[in-house]
Amino acid sequence: MRLFRVFSQTSLFIGMISFLYAHEFEASKPFEKLHLHDKLEVHTHFGWESKYVLEGRDSLDGDSLWSSGVETGYEHFFGGVWYGRSSKNDFRELKFNAGVGQENDAYTYHLAFTHIRFPVDDESDDEWEAGFTYTDLPFDGESGLTLVYSEDADGFFIEWGNAIVQSVTEEFELEYTGVLGWNEGFVSDGHDGLNHFSLGMSTGREISSFAALSLHAVQTWPINRDLNKADDLFLRDTFHFGISLEANF
């Protein structure tokens, strides 16, 4: 019954935001969904985030985060490893990701599994993700819906992401993103329903034939914040930015 309720609410959710262009992930997400080719593709990054924002929440209460990761893709399969740590407290997080995807001229689909470990607290979680993206919108726009299920929380989180690309010069592009989030038990001590909205901008600069420096900035606003719930105390107006060194092989 809960799954049926989630999908019925998702239909309403999509209708409310159909005026936006979309992209299924924010620039600050741990794993980049690689385009799938018939040869092995590898992407690595090392970066810094001014704040660690997840599900619209400033999860480290203002502390910054260092992270590094490796993602691979081959034919219909992709996977990766991501590690994040805060230099101001004992927070550590390790993620292992694997999935399968399908692409055609205008659509991409993916299913993925992520195992998450918190070494300091000796805790873990498993998440299942399904996503769909339409990639043939004007201005190189993309529109995608992602649903993630947490086994530990026994709940879902849904994001409708939006992106358009502006070419400033032949070597310089800006990407503008908008993401709307919906919580359904995923953030266990947060309110259910519409959760947050964010607007972001990102860009990159090649520094060699295979490496680039990437920058992004995101502003997040809470929706229907409930201060009687502990996890909603971190759901607030939040501006954060990040920088990362990336390489493709």
CB 177 within 8 A of CB 23: yes
Q: What is the pLDDT of residues 61-118, one digit of tens each?
A: 999 999 999 999 998 999 999 999 998 889 999 999 999 999 888 999 999 999 999 9
Range with the poorest average pLDDT among 28-42, 53-67, 152-166, 180-194: 28-42
In angstroms, the Cα distances linking 184 to 2, 14, 187, 194, 243 are: 9, 15, 8, 9, 31
Residue from 75, 64, 84, 73 nearest 32 by CA: 73
Query: What's the sign of the alpha-carbon dihedral 99, 146, 218, 163?
Result: positive
In angstroms, the Cα distances linking 100 to 76, 110, 111, 130 are: 5, 6, 6, 10
For residues 118-139, average pLDDT: 94
Angle at alpha carbon of residue 18, lines to 14 and 19, rounded to 5°? 155
pLDDT grade, residue 51 (50/70/90)? very high
Q: What is the pLDDT of residues 195-227, one digit of tens each?
A: 999 999 999 988 998 899 999 999 999 999 999
89: Cβ–Cβ under 8 A, 6 or more apart, which residues? 60, 63
Domains, the chain, ranges and CATH? 2-248 (2.40.160.40)
Give the tokens for residue 17.
Answer: 């935001």
**Residue type at position 182:** W
Query: What's the sign of the alpha-carbon dihedral 102, 109, 235, 191?
Result: negative
CB 56 within 8 A of CB 166: no
Q: Which DSSP string corresponds to 153-205?
A: TTEEEEEEEEEEEEESSSS-EEEEEEEEEEEEBSSTTS-SEEEEEEEEEEEEE
